[in-house]
Amino acid sequence: MQLRALRYFVTLAREEHFARAADICGVAQPTLSSALNSLETQLGKRLVERDRRYIGLTEEGRAMLPWAQQLLAAHEAMVHAVEALGGPLRGEFRLGAIPAAMPSVGQFTQALLRQHPGMTLSVRSQTSREIMRAIEAFEIDAGVTYLDHESPSNVISVPLYAERYVFVTAEAGTQRESGAVSWQEVARHPLCLLHQGMQNRRILDGLLDAHGLSATPRATADSYIALLAMVQSGGLATVMPERYVDLIEGTDWAHVRPLAMDAAISRIGLVVGDRGPLDPVAAAALNCARRIAGESMRD
């Protein structure tokens, strides 16, 4: 049984399309077809349901998939473990991050890239749930997400910072109060917030609820950029993670005031999967995160 065939299988299960999967794997479509065929012959079971088109995995295929993923991940980690001894790491580092943490990944990734010049980086925006699933499925090497909410499986985590929120309004006339703003005041404004169901919105709702308030936003979106655009032009206000302030600092329209954070604040950190020995890539990420966390503490 060949690793190659397993890679085809896993890619096919993800792409649900023979030619596309073959293309991603860098082989011709018949190659993937025949590899899958011999895999199925060797196991004596059909793995992929198909009749002219891809239909889906069989029961056996579904049972096999997570093991195949683990196997391929172990293979990559093995290669990394061997290569890492002779110098800096190479290859692609796949990082998932929740939108709320996106502005802060720069610091982390910069440190990582500086320390490992041969490494390339691929950052994707995902929900906290997706990040956990992707770590489970070996689709990303690490994630930046909430530490205290969902952490179901075997992961190692390093706290990076505690999330604080700020209240952003467009500058309206000359009134320019500063100092912390209360949740009551927030609730009085016409707001635009993230869509319900996004983790960050759930946290925000929880914070409001703790003060006996509830949010009825005039607009919702799935990105902070969209929220900021609406604030800038629409007269709405929003609440967003402190880390986004850096992006709009110095603009002439944004008026940022910290929010009183009395309740428990959400910790955000780096998480990597923890199965078996530690992948050197993951180890490098953890190191960087620990260093950054140390620096942040000193701030």
Binding site for a copy of itself (CB under 8 A): 1-3, 43-45, 47, 59-60, 63-64, 66-68, 70-71, 74-75, 77-79, 81-86, 154, 274-277
Q: Which of 9, 54, 161, 165 forms a contact with DNA (CB under 7 A)? A: 54
Q: Which is nearer to DNA, 26 or 212 (CB)?
A: 26
Residue with tokens 């799935």: 222
Question: Does 219 help bind DNA (rule: CB under 7 A)?
Answer: no
Q: Which of 9, 11, 13, 18 forms a contact with DNA (CB under 7 A)? A: 18
Residue 46: CB minimum distance to DNA, A: 10
Q: Which helix (H) or strand (E) holds 76?
A: helix 59-84
Tokens matching residue 194:
């993230």
Residue with tokens 């607009």: 219
Question: Does 4 help bind DNA (rule: CB under 7 A)?
Answer: yes
CA distances from 5 to 24, 54, 138, 220 (A): 13, 17, 17, 44
Question: Does 120 help bind DNA (rule: CB under 7 A)?
Answer: no
Residue 51 CB partners (closer than 8 Å, separation 6+): none
Q: Which is nearer to DNA, 57 or 131 (CB)?
A: 57
Question: Does 53 help bind DNA (rule: CB under 7 A)?
Answer: yes
| Tally of CB atoms within 10 A around 246 | 11
Question: Which residues inside 23-42 make contact with DNA, applying CB under 7 A?
Answer: 26-31, 33-38
Residues 247, 250, 256, 262, CA torsion sign = positive
Q: Which is nearer to DNA, 42 or 182 (CB)?
A: 42
Count of residues touching DNA (by CB under 7 A): 24
Q: Which helix (H) or strand (E) holds 158?
A: strand 155-162
β-bridge partners, 142: 95
Residues 116, 117, 119, 120, CA torsion sign = positive
Question: Does 138 help bind DNA (rule: CB under 7 A)?
Answer: no
Q: Which does residue 184 bind out of DNA, a copy of itself, none, counting CB within 5 to 8 angstroms by kind?
A: none
Question: Does 115 help bind DNA (rule: CB under 7 A)?
Answer: no
Binding site for DNA (CB under 7 A): 2, 4-5, 17-20, 26-31, 33-38, 50-54
